[in-house]
Amino acid sequence: MTQPMKRFPAASIDKLPEDIRTRLLAVQEKSGFVPNVFLTLAYRPDEFRAFFAYHDALMEKESGLSKAEREMIVVATSAANQCQYCVIAHGAILRIRAKNPLIADQIAVNYRKADITPRQKAMLDFAMKISRSAEEISEEDFAAVAQHGFSDDDIWDIAAIAAFFALSNRMANFTGMRPNDEFYMLGRLPK
């Protein structure tokens, strides 16, 4: 097994706090492997708990954005931040959620050219502005995305996901977090 991150020692699952160990084992049960983000962040249990609570609050809840659309935001902004772990791991999730084996690579390289709807293009324009130059966000940006039918709450979701992965991308680049080998092929072949 490759090391989950380059700069810090990997957590040993059986020495983790009970709640974290339980979560890791549940993920392993479901996915067949433990994504390295869990092993990496487990180095700091309190940060681990807050990170995944935040993640779940954005990515698992009901929203005007489909789960695939939320993963599009993750892939597009993580590519702009050159985050290897997030692009490759969430690219896999996007392929699965969108049931589309091509979409993640397209969005990762240049979302403007991807096979997405104008509504999704507007969503990603807004997400990219939050990710790259949130200080310039303006009424025009809100109007541009709202005219595609996104509610205020949907727009919060777009912004919050872009903001959360601004954190996540930085931690992954800092720790040298590696995508597990399993992610590269997930969702590429028809079931």
Residues lying near a second copy in the complex (CB under 8 A) = 7-8, 43-44, 46-47, 49-51, 53-54, 56-58, 61, 79, 81-84, 87-88, 91, 101-102, 105-106, 108-110, 112-114, 130-131, 134-138, 142, 152, 156, 159-160, 162-164, 166-171, 173-174, 176, 178, 181, 184-185, 188-189
Q: How far is the CB of 168 from a second copy (least distance, A)?
A: 8
Complex with a second copy: residue 69 or 157, whichever CB lies closer: 157
Complex with a second copy: residue 25 or 50, whichever CB lies closer: 50
Measured in degrees and rounded to the nearest 5, phi and psi for residue 93 equal -65, -40
Give the CA dihedral 101, 106, 127, 143, nearest 10 degrees. Answer: -100
Complex with a second copy: residue 24 or 80, whichever CB lies closer: 80
- How far is Cα 28 from Cα 182, in angstroms, rounded to an integer? 12
Q: How far is the CB of 113 from a second copy (least distance, A)?
A: 5
- How far is Cα 159 from Cα 152, in angstroms, rounded to an integer? 11
Complex with a second copy: residue 34 or 77, whichever CB lies closer: 77
DSSP single-letter state for residue 5: B
Complex with a second copy: residue 66 or 153, whichever CB lies closer: 153
- Residue 84 burial class via C-beta count within 10 angstroms: exposed 0-12, middle 13-18, buried 19 and up: middle
Q: How far is the CB of 28 from a second copy (least distance, A)?
A: 21
